[in-house]
């Protein structure tokens, strides 16, 4: 009995919080924004205590005052905020359940123009047919089924960067892009941890190639053009800050020297035990990487294979007969 009273009190408290309108009185149908270009700040909070702050400074967005926001994600979500529409009201039979569900698991979205809060609503669960999402304006006494006309799937949670009922800053964080223009790179040192004899150094200024012993490998000088563009626009996947580098197998260390800096690109692979676990397997072959000691992020093999080749593979690629290493 005490447990039931506690749950009832929790629901009542959540509903009071949900209905409480601090400064503004939003109309119960105020969901869509009129001009996404004027949005300057977005705050998202879930019931697990997670929150993210997206803030615009000039034309650049940051998340939680720490990381640059992925421009594709913010552009997409702002367009969603502009396009959402009411699909229908919620039936009387379901309205109480939907409101209680939003009160206990809904994600609160606050949208600002300059310092003025122009929208505040909650995103709840989805309809059974996945053609709409339950949403409710802060201070309102009713909920609606929302969607974007002519866009499938109809659910809105992932379009707001929400995973289930939680917000996650990593969804918004701009992926790393490793990008060196032609002739930027002066030297590349590739240390192969698994096969040390496949390590090599490429001196692009002097068009020289050295093996793991530091001995010069004679090749046609036109072969060096391969490396001029190899590190151009290498797109990376999402960051995985919860993963520890020490839990993975370090397979390569690549040091890239330009006129001004030397950058470090470390490549990690799954261990044999991890390869047997579902969470580390997908239809796309990938590894993990860290750039200049950053958090781990995913890299796809088909994108990075051109810079992860061994010395022997590079020689064969350029029609050279591999020497005895």
Distance CA 168, CA 189 (A): 36
Q: Where are the alpha helices (DSSP H) in 150-268?
A: 169-172, 225-230
Burial of 20 (0-12, 13-18, 19+ CB in 10 A): exposed
**What was the pLDDT predicted at 22?**
45
Q: Is there a contact between 31 and 23 (Cβ–Cβ < 8 Å)?
A: no
Percent of the chain with pLDDT over 90: 75
- 304, with CB counted inside 10 A (0-12, 13-18, 19+), is buried
Supply 258's token pair.
């330009």
Global pTM reads 0.74
On average, the pLDDT of the chain sits at: 89
Chain segment 256-268, per-residue pLDDT in tens: 999 999 999 999 9
Which residue is it, tokens 């020289």? 208
Note whether 275 and 288 are within 8 A (CB).
no
Report the distance separating Cα 307 and Cα 179, nearest Å.
12
Length of the chain: 325
pLDDT tens per residue, range 136-176: 999 999 999 999 998 777 799 999 999 989 999 989 999 98
Q: Before 199, cis peptide (omega within 30)?
A: no
296 pLDDT more than 70: yes
Question: Which is it for strands 85-89 and 144-147: parallel, antiparallel or unpaired?
Answer: antiparallel
Task: Look at residue 20 in the predicted model and tell me its pLDDT.
Answer: 45
Least confident residue range of 51-55, 71-75, 108-112, 282-286 = 282-286
pLDDT at 308: 96
In 179-248 the beta strands, taken as DSSP E runs, fall at 185-192, 200-203, 208-210, 216-217, 234-235
Q: Is pLDDT at 21 greater than 60 in this prediction?
A: no
What's residue 17's pLDDT?
A: 47
DSSP 299-310: EEHHHHGGGS--
Of residues 84 and 176, the one with the higher pLDDT is: 84
Q: Which of 186, 184, 301 is nearest to 251 (CA)?
A: 301
Q: List CB contacts of 33: < 8 A, sequence separation 6 or more.
A: 39, 81, 82, 111, 118, 119
The pLDDT value given to residue 270: 86
Question: Which residues contact residue 270 at a Cβ distance below 8 angstroms, ignoring those fewer than 6 apart?
Answer: 248, 249, 280, 287
pLDDT at 16: 47
- The structure tokens listed for 243 are 């993963």
Which strand (E) or helix (H) includes residue 10?
Answer: helix 2-19
Which residues neighbour 45 within 8 Å (Cβ) at sequence distance 6 or greater? 51, 107, 108, 167
The pLDDT value given to residue 24: 56
Which residues, in sequence order, are CB contacts of 44 under 8 Å at separation 6+? 51, 52, 54, 107, 108, 109, 110, 160, 161, 162, 167
d(CA 129, CA 102): 18
pLDDT in tens, 216-256: 999 999 999 999 999 999 999 989 988 999 999 999 999 99
The DSSP element (H or E) to which 316 belongs, if any, is helix 311-317
């Amino acid at each position: 009995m005490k447990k039931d009273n506690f749950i009832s009190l929790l629901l009542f408290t959540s509903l009071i919080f949900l209905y409480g309108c601090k400064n503004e009185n939003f109309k119960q149908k105020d969901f869509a924004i009129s001009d996404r270009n004027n949005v300057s700040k977005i705050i998202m909070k879930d019931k697990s205590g997670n929150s993210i702050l997206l803030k615009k400074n000039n034309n650049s967005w940051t998340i939680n005052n720490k990381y640059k926001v992925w421009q594709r994600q913010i552009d997409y979500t702002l367009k969603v905020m502009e396009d959402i529409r009411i699909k229908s009201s919620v039936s009387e039979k379901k309205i109480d359940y939907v409101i209680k569900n939003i009160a206990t698991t809904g994600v609160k979205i606050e949208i600002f123009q300059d310092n003025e809060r122009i929208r505040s609503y909650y995103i709840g669960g989805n309809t059974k047919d996945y053609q709409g999402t339950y949403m409710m304006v802060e201070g309102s006494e009713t909920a609606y089924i929302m969607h974007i006309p002519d866009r499938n799937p109809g659910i809105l949670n992932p379009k707001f960067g929400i995973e289930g009922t939680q917000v996650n800053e990593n969804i918004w964080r701009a992926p790393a892009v490793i990008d060196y223009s032609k002739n930027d790179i002066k030297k590349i040192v590739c240390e192969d941890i698994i096969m040390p004899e496949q390590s090599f150094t490429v001196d692009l200024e002097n068009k020289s190639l050295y093996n793991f012993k530091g001995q010069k490998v004679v090749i046609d000088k036109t072969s060096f053009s391969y490396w001029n563009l190899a590190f151009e626009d290498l797109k990376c996947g999402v960051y995985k800050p919860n993963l520890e580098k020490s839990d993975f197998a370090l397979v390569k260390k690549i040091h890239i020297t330009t006129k001004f800096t030397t950058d470090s690109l470390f490549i990690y692979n799954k261990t044999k035990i991890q390869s047997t676990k579902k969470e580390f397997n997908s239809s796309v072959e990938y590894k993990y990487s860290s750039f200049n000691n950053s958090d781990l992020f995913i890299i796809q093999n088909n994108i990075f294979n051109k810079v992860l080749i061994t010395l022997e593979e590079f020689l064969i690629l350029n029609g050279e007969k591999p020497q005895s290493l």
